[in-house]
Structure formats: structure tokens, C-alpha cells
Amino acid sequence: MTRFALTLEFDGTPFFGLQRQSHGPSVQQAIEEAVEQITGERVVMHAAGRTDAGVHALAMRSHVDIERPFDPFRLMAALNARLRPAPIAVTHCQVVPDAWHARFSCTGRRYLYRIVNRRAPLTLLRDKAWHVPQPLDAEAMHRAAQALVGRHDFTTFRSVHCQAADPVKSLDLLDVERVGEEIHIHAAARSFLHHQVRSMVGCLKLVGAGTWPESRIAEALAARDRQALGLNAPPHGLYFVAATYPELQEEQA
């Protein structure tokens, strides 16, 4: 049995999320079915994180265990051939130790949220970013965001369906920057609560639009109450950017 680490890039638009669902297509289902077509083996894919319907990934780490011997490059090529035309690509594939786990060995996760801040509607970036036509103050959003950095009870910013046992998380970074007509929100932590990034972005948008004062972010955090949440940003602007693992370098296959 060999454990293969896969790095996945995908457009989440047609999927009901990364994790296998009973009511619609998922990224996990697509990968598992592709592996079975190639090897005849039924496998379970494990990933560094879970994504909601419509959320995208630039480099989602995952792994599968396969009994049949395979060269990593040939496995990657075979998977990409079977995955077409689904918007999923295996960009890297490597053999890893049996003890390595895509989820439990991960020590850090990074997300990017993209807002297109212009009056004109989206064409090329439709379903790839949140369109906000009213002007946003990115600097005010960044200042307000710093109240969320550190170790806090993020109850206000978690989904009511979140299954995490503890709402306390350590947020390592939450930066907001303007890049032309886009506003990018960068978030990094060891792990996140369900909807945490989208909930933080939604409230920061209210600050940028002048609907909330900057101080309201800290007040919402201190409330530890979902009722204090101002807005949950839509999923299609969110990207899983990277997962971090100690002493494991990604080797291009």
C-alpha cells in the first residue's frame, strides 16, 4: 500500500463542496471515482480542509492509499485524464510516509477572498469573486481586521452548523489590500471554524462600505453571539490557497 499526496486545483462552482455529499457532486467523489477507474480500487480521499459549495482551491492538499504500484507522474497524468471535463486538476503528486495525513499532519491553512469593487458587472470573474459595486475603504477594513488576529472565541463568526468542539481559534493573519479594482483578504491559521472566513469578510465589507464603524468588528467578536454577525460573504469569492506541513516539501511530479 502506497500513500500518495495530491495537490488539487479546482473551480468549486459545479460542486456541492469538497467532501462527498449524498445530494450532489463533490470534489472528493470525482477523485475517488477517477482512482477506481484507473486502479480498480475503492479508496477514500482525505483533504487538508473542507470547502462549501462554490468555494475554490488553488492548492488543496489531499491523499489516497493505493495498493497497485504507480509512478507518481503517471498517476497524476492518469487522474487528470479521467477527471476531464470536471474543473479539477491534480497539479502535484508524490509518495509520502504512511504516517503522513493530509488533514491531521497539517499545521497551517491559508485562504484568499476576492472582492471585485467596481460598478460594472462581472464577466470573466463571474462566480470567481464577490461583486460589490459601492466603493469600499480597504484601509479601514484592514485596520478593523486586526481586532480579530490572535487567539479568540470566534462564536460570532462560526456557522450554526459548525461541528467544531471549541470555538476558540488562533488567527495568525488577516490582511486586507487593494489590488487595482479588487480587494483581497488574506487569512491564515492552523485551522478555521465553519464559515469563519466568510463571516469575517462579510463584516469587514460593512466596515469598508461605511455601514459599520471600525470598532464594531471588535464588539461583534466580544459578543460571542451569532446574532451579532452583520453579514456572511458568499462562497464564490473564497479560495483555499495552501496547506503547510512540517518537514515535507512538495515535489513536482
SS (H, E, C) the chain: CEEEEEEEEECCCCCCCCCCCCCCCCHHHHHHHHHHHHHCCCCCCEECCCCCCCCEEEEEEEEEEECCCCCHHHHHHHHHHHHCCCCEEEEEEEEECCCCCCCCCCCEEEEEEEEECCCCCCCCCCCCCEECCCCCCHHHHHHHHHHHCEEEECHHHCCCCCCCCCCEEEEEEEEEEEECCEEEEEEEECCCCCCHHHHHHHHHHHHHCCCCCCHHHHHHHHHCCHHHCCCCCCHHHEEEEEEECCCCCCCCC
pLDDT digits (tens, 9 = 90+) for 131-145: 999 999 999 999 999
Average pLDDT (100-127) is 97
pLDDT value at position 23?
85
Q: Which residues contact 123 (CB under 8 A, 6 or more apart)?
A: none
Question: Could you tell me what percent of the chain has a pLDDT over 70?
Answer: 97
- Domain-ending residue, one of 59, 89, 105: 105
- Do residues 121 and 229 both lie within one domain? yes
| pLDDT tens-place string over residues 147-181 | 999 999 999 999 888 878 899 999 999 999 999 99
Pick the last residue of a domain from 105, 134, 161: 105
CA 130 – CA 124 distance, rounded (Å): 12
Pair 171, 56 in one domain: no
The count of domains in the chain is: 2
Whether residue 181 is contained in a domain is answered as yes
Query: Is residue 210 assigned to a domain?
Result: yes
Residue with cell 488539487: 8
Q: Which of 52, 127, 153, 175 is catalytic?
A: 52
Residue 178 lies in a domain: yes
Same structural domain for residues 94 and 125? no
| Residue 40 shares a structural domain with residue 122 | no
Whether 98 sits among the annotated catalytic residues: the reply is no
Whether residue 206 sits in one domain with residue 124: yes
Amino acid identity at 230: G
222: containing domain: 108-241
Look at residue 120 and tell me if it is in a domain.
yes
Query: What CATH number has the domain bearing residue 59?
Result: 3.30.70.580
Q: What is the pLDDT of residue 252?
A: 41
Q: pLDDT tens for residues 6-23?
A: 999 999 999 999 999 888
Same domain, 125 and 213: yes
pLDDT over 50 at 217, yes or no = yes
The CATH number assigned to the domain holding 112 equals 3.30.70.660
Q: Note whether residue 153 is domain-resident.
A: yes
- My answer on whether 217 and 179 are in the same domain is yes
